[in-house]
Structure 1
Amino acid sequence: MSAFEGINQARVIAPTIRQEIENLRKDKILGSSLEAEVDIYCDDETYEKLTALGSELRFIFITSDARIHVLKGKTNDCVEVYVHESKSVEERIFIKVSKSEYEKCVRCWHHREDIGNNNEHPELCSRCVENVVGDGEERKFA
């Protein structure tokens, strides 16, 4: 599977993720999309397409995290999304958007588990520490 296929798949489901984020904003659960984390439950083929994007999937959705799971792990509070216009049962995924439990990085505003791991930069996530004092992150897709 190519990353290009993963990007196309992400573009199909992104509007539903944005709508779910907006619903949580209206309910005052989220203030911004970067407070959100998204879990995506899908079949094996879609799983391979989306995991090809690695951690960069969160940048496509403009969320703090995006996790991909196989369909059998789906919870009952997910939203159904069809990945093709045919709306075939075989071509659907399920998403769940939730508020991150982690603190916000003061530089990138992502809510990350690794904030404070660097004693010299206690308010930064590891990605920002790498970008500020290291060689910088290397992105391939987003």
Structure 2
Amino acid sequence: LLAKWARIRELRDAVNKDIETLRAEGKVGSSLQANVTLTVNPQDYALLASLGDDLKFVFITSAIDLIAGDDLSIRASTSNSIKCERCWHYRDDVGIDPAHPAICGRCTSNLLGAGEARAFA
């Protein structure tokens, strides 16, 4: 378990370096404003995929696209989505509920519905 999370932290640090480049260029203010495409070897893919939807929370990004490949490749980009005023994630479903135009569907569900179930973060 310790080795699993040590490797996850190593990969997160590598992603954060890419996001820092965007921050230095003035393209993002926070890591939540970034979307990440992360290509990893099959072993790391299995490790990260085991986190499911919690992966974006562990990496503190609004979205992460995980791809199995041969070599490590990280591409961080600025999100084109709208920022949720409650959770600050940039999501395509902000305003999906007309009664709550400034929050995302996840927050609407957490506030008014059954909510979400997280396992890791």
Is residue 109 from structure 1 mapped to residue 88 from structure 2 by the alignment? Answer: yes
Structure 2 gaps, min length 5 = none
Normalised by the size of structure 1, how large is the TM-score?
Answer: 0.76
One-letter amino acid of the counterpart of residue 28, structure 1: G
Tell me, in whole angstroms, the C-alpha distance in 2 between the residues paired with 1:133 and 1:67. Answer: 28
Tell me, in whole angstroms, the C-alpha distance in 2 between the residues paired with 1:137 and 1:106. Answer: 18
Please tell me the root mean square deviation across aligned C-alpha atoms, in Å: 1.9
C-alpha deviation, 1:8, in angstroms: 4.0
Tell me, in whole angstroms, the C-alpha distance in 1 between the residues paired with 2:51 and 2:82. Answer: 24
Normalised by the size of structure 2, how large is the TM-score?
Answer: 0.88
2:8 aligns with 10
Is residue 97 from structure 1 mapped to residue 76 from structure 2 by the alignment? Answer: yes
1:33 aligns with 31
Structure 1 gaps, min length 5 = 73-91
Tell me, in whole angstroms, the C-alpha distance in 2 between the residues paired with 1:67 and 1:9. Answer: 18
C-alpha deviation, 1:6, in angstroms: 5.8
C-alpha deviation, 1:133, in angstroms: 0.7
Query: Match of 2:74, SS?
Result: strand
C-alpha deviation, 1:9, in angstroms: 3.2
Tell me, in whole angstroms, the C-alpha distance in 1 between the residues paired with 2:105 and 2:3. Answer: 29
Tell me, in whole angstroms, the C-alpha distance in 2 between the residues paired with 1:114 and 1:32. Answer: 20
1:52-63 to 2 correspondence within 5 Å? Answer: 52-63=50-61
Aligned partners of 2:18 and 2:74 also within 8 Å:
no
Question: Deviation per CA, 1:2-57, whole angstroms, max 9, x where unpaired?
Answer: x9876443211111211211111111111111100111112222222211111211
Aligned partners of 2:41 and 2:69 also within 8 Å:
yes
One-letter amino acid of the counterpart of residue 46, structure 1: D
Aligned partners of 2:40 and 2:73 also within 8 Å:
yes
Tell me, in whole angstroms, the C-alpha distance in 2 between the residues paired with 1:6 and 1:15. Answer: 14
Tell me, in whole angstroms, the C-alpha distance in 1 between the residues paired with 2:67 and 2:3. Answer: 17
